[in-house]
Structure 1
Amino acid sequence: MTIHWPRLGVEEEFLVVDPVTREVTPGAAAVVSEAERHLGTRVCGEITKLQVETRTAACHTTVDLHAQLVEARSALASAAAAEQLRVMASGSPVLGRAIPPPMTEGPRQDRGNAMFRGLHDELSICAVHVHVESPDRERAVRISNHLRPYLPTLIALTANSPYWAERDTGYASWRTMTWHRWPVAGPPPYFTSADHYDGLVDTLLDAGALVDKGTIFWDVRLSAHQPTLEVRASDVPVSAAESAALAALVRGLVVAAGRAVDAGDPGPQVQPELMRLAYWRAARDGFGGCGVDVHSGQLKPAAELAHRLLDVARPALADMGDLDRVSEWLRQLGSEGDGATRQRRVAARAGGLTDVVDHLVARTAAREESTKP
């Protein structure tokens, strides 16, 4: 019997930078227009004029997914170069005081500006979103209950935003700290059913906390436009290989959670206070520090927590052929550090933050081995 694993897709956000000053610059519209020649609808703008987004098609394998990520990054870099610009994969700007950032215009953006106001002043941040096919909404909501405890560790694995306003924040993922000031952001609540999910979303809309269902910014959510469960906790990684490995791990966790749901396991009801603490610690320390075990409240090495996720997903990853990809990614993170660590290592050189931007630009569209960060 042929087993059909859930398809997966990835959205990646990037910052546009000036190749001379290395500062973020509002050239997104020109880059998108040029990139559409090759990528079509797989590229678009974002809420600020500093950002662009690419997306893959729905993929059956992470081999295909990785190839599409590399293709999109290459096309985006070529489009930027044609406009005398560059793009970089960083969760936050390195150079350029883009506060407030130049915003894109439109009725939806105007509603958001009126609703969120000063929160938009620090919105030039970039994430990666992983979609896993989940057409049964009831089952998807129950899977999300199982995924909640894993979110802080996913943040630590992909931490790639140490700089903000041209200074080191002391955090590995400053994007995480910035993003969670929104009224509907961070880990989702524990849901008892799809009706519970929909009812809360309707309440949030009525209360004026959402522009529309597309602005549900929980780190796990039901996609508003596709039959997928979307995991969106992570900074955009430096390389396409890391995004592909993250997507493989997320799909493995979704499949493992689905098996638990099918066996009648309702998932753990983690204390919100411990989730908040774990988010903060993961954002501060990244993969190289300690994280919080959300079940006990104890500090554990982030690498240990990451390998616990690998153990949960291991059977599914092995079945889908993704175990080596994820295992090698974790090994390389242990050896080379997360994205924030690599940015800081480059910054220690004579060139400082300009070298960091050059490093990110070069790695964003590098032709790479399948797991090389």
Structure 2
Amino acid sequence: MDHADSIVIDPELAERAESQDLHTLGVEEEYLLVDAVEPRAVEAVEEVFDRLPEDIRDSVQHEFMRSQIEVASPPQLELGTLAKALRDLRAGVAGAAEAAGARLLAIGTGPTVNGRVRVVDNPRYHRMQERFGDLSPGAGMCGTHVHVSIPDDETGVQVLNHLRPWLPIFQAATVNSPLFEGRETGYASWRFMLWERWPTVGPAPYLRSFQDYETMIGDLEASGAMLDEGMLYWYARLSARYPTVEIRMGDVMPTADDAVLLAALARALVATLVQEVHAGTPAPDVPHPLLMAAHWRAAHDGLEGLNIDMATREPRPAWKLMRQLFDYVRPELERHGDLETATTLLGRLRAHGTGAARQRAILAQGGSVADVVDRFARLTRGDAPEK
């Protein structure tokens, strides 16, 4: 929920990236813990922690609810190394979950009816619950956060301005929560609709400078809408401790490959926008209500429907907008050595659909919610690769 700074940047890696004018990237993923027999969330996080392999323990954190757990990959330059790190983390945590009588599930919300799940016994989480009440219903909400390095905070703020019109299509690619408490919600990402209830969730506003960014944080803390900077839940924000932009509005994705594709596109987009900032290109003037409409459409339709073309302000097939994004960032995908992998992974996403589409396909073929949970637990672990 708010472990934005759990990714530790290796100074030597950062120096190597800077010397080559490249951007490092890291991924955080939040998962649900479900019972090994019944498809219901379980408060098993402490038992899972007790069984984690030593080599991944430092990359795993608690999340808000006791039925959740989070991993953070080390920052990487090479996409293949990131992919291996994510697969190893998923497999290691899934193994620990199974040893604790649970399963690990990369899914945006609890898909089945569940009893009351408590927050993790952490003073900060208890303060959050006291201040904000029941804004995190069910078993918890699980997302994906991608960190991309930036040269400095001033550049980062301008990158946030340029990111705003692109993020709805990123969100459409991540939708993975059409089910909630045993029912089809009619949305590809019901997690997003639940998440919107928190007072600091939304697109980052247009910001003139890093000082403007810091002033906004102070004002929001003073208002009581957030306890600290960790609760700045904008769809993209700056890390509080490290020179990264964090893109954070998406659902957790079903497979490590899905997450790697998102990370590759995020890095290429941030790298492209850094060049625009340095060239003095002004950020697009996108009205806030139109941004909100595009994000709502992304949550509703995913990639299988429509979204808003921010240049024309007209609805277009979301897959065409995804292709437009891919073509726009292609030079940076190539410069970072990611083009071949990203092309392959985009083709797989096109063939298999988003997580929401895959869940719905199981139900359309006569499967049950339990079948969805079983299939996605195997996808999460990496035991059911999709070719």
Pairwise CA distance, 1:13? 0.5
- Give 3-state SS (helix, strand or coil) of 1:38's partner: coil
2-structure distance, mates of 1:120, 1:281: 22
* Structure 1 position 2, deviation (Å): 6.2
Query: In the alignment, what sits opposite 2:92?
Result: 75
Residue 257 (str. 1) matches residue 282 (str. 2): no
Could you tell me which amino acid in structure 1 is paired with residue 235 of structure 2?
Answer: D
Are residues 1:277 and 2:261 paired? no
Structure 2 residue 56 is the aligned partner of structure 1 residue 39: yes
Q: CA deviation at 1:176?
A: 1.1
Identify the residue that residue 337 of structure 2 maps to in structure 1: 321
Contact 1:70 1:367 in 2 (8 A): no
Unpaired runs of 5+ residues, structure 1, are none
Cα RMSD for the two superposed structures = 1.7
Is contact 1:287-1:333 (8 Å) kept?
no
**Corresponding residue to 2:29 among 12, 17, 39:** 12
Distance, in Å, in 2 between the alignment partners of 1:280 and 1:229 is 23
**How far does the alpha carbon of each residue in 1:94-150 deviate from its partner, in whole angstroms, 9 at most, with x for none?**
12325x531112221122112211213357110010001124000001011111111
1:59 aligns with 2:82: no
Are residues 1:293 and 2:309 paired?
yes
CA distance in 2 between partners of 1:123 and 1:155 (Å): 22
Instruction: Determine helix, strand or coil for the equivalent of 2:43.
Output: coil
* Equivalent residue, structure 1, for 2:136: 120
Corresponding letter in the other structure for 2:110: P
Moved over 6 A (4+): none
The residue that corresponds to 1:219 in the other structure is 235
1:1-373 aligned at under 5 Å gives the runs 3-35=20-52, 37-98=54-115, 100-122=116-138, 124-366=140-382, 372=386
Shift of 1:368: 7.5
**In 2, distance between residues paired with 1:158 and 1:115?**
30
Q: Relative to structure 2, which stretch is displaced further, 180-189 or 342-351?
A: 342-351
1:224 Cα offset (Å): 1.8
State the 1:299 CA deviation.
Answer: 0.5
Question: Residues 22 and 123 of structure 1: is their aligned pair in 2 closer, same or farther, counting only changes over 3 Å?
Answer: closer
Q: Could you say if the C-alpha distance between residues 296 and 11 of structure 1 is closer, same or farther in structure 2, counting changes exceeding 3 Å? A: same
Shift of 1:86: 0.6
Letter aligned with residue 314 of structure 1: R
Amino acid at match of 1:180: E
Letter in 1 for 2:50: S
The one-character-per-residue Cα deviations of 1:244-274 (angstroms, maximum 9, x if unpaired) are: 1100100000000000000001211210111
Partner Cα separation in structure 2 for residue 320 and residue 60 of structure 1: 8
Contact 2:141 2:191 in 1 (8 A): yes
TM-score, normalised relative to structure 2: 0.92
Q: Evaluate the alpha carbon distance shift between residue 351 and residue 368 of structure 1 in structure 2; reply closer, same or farther with a 3 A threshold.
A: closer
State the secondary structure of the residue aligned to 1:17: strand
Deviates more, 1:238-247 or 1:102-111: 102-111
Q: CA distance change for structure 1 residues 4 and 33 in 2, over 3 Å: closer, same or farther?
A: farther
Asked if 1 retains the 8 angstrom alpha-carbon contact of 2:59 and 2:71, the reply is yes
Which deviates further from its counterpart, 320-329 or 68-77?
320-329
Aligned pair count reads: 370
Cα deviation, residue 63, structure 1: 0.7
Q: Distance in 1 between matches of 2:226 and 2:121?
A: 18
**Which residue identity does 1:312 align to in structure 2?**
Y
The residue type paired with residue 25 of structure 1 is V
Q: Quote the residue 2:5 is aligned against.
A: none
Q: Which runs of 5+ in 2 are unaligned?
A: 1-17
Q: TM-score, normalised by structure 1?
A: 0.95
Q: Deviations over 1:177-201 (max 9, x none)?
A: 1111111112110111101100000
Measured after TM superposition, the shift of residue 72 of structure 1 is 0.1
Deviations 1:27-68 (A, max 9, x none): 112112312533121001101001000111111111110000
Distance 1:116 1:325 in 2: 42
CA distance in 1, matches of 2:181, 2:87: 29
Structure 1 CA distance for aligned equivalents of residues 94 and 135 of structure 2: 29
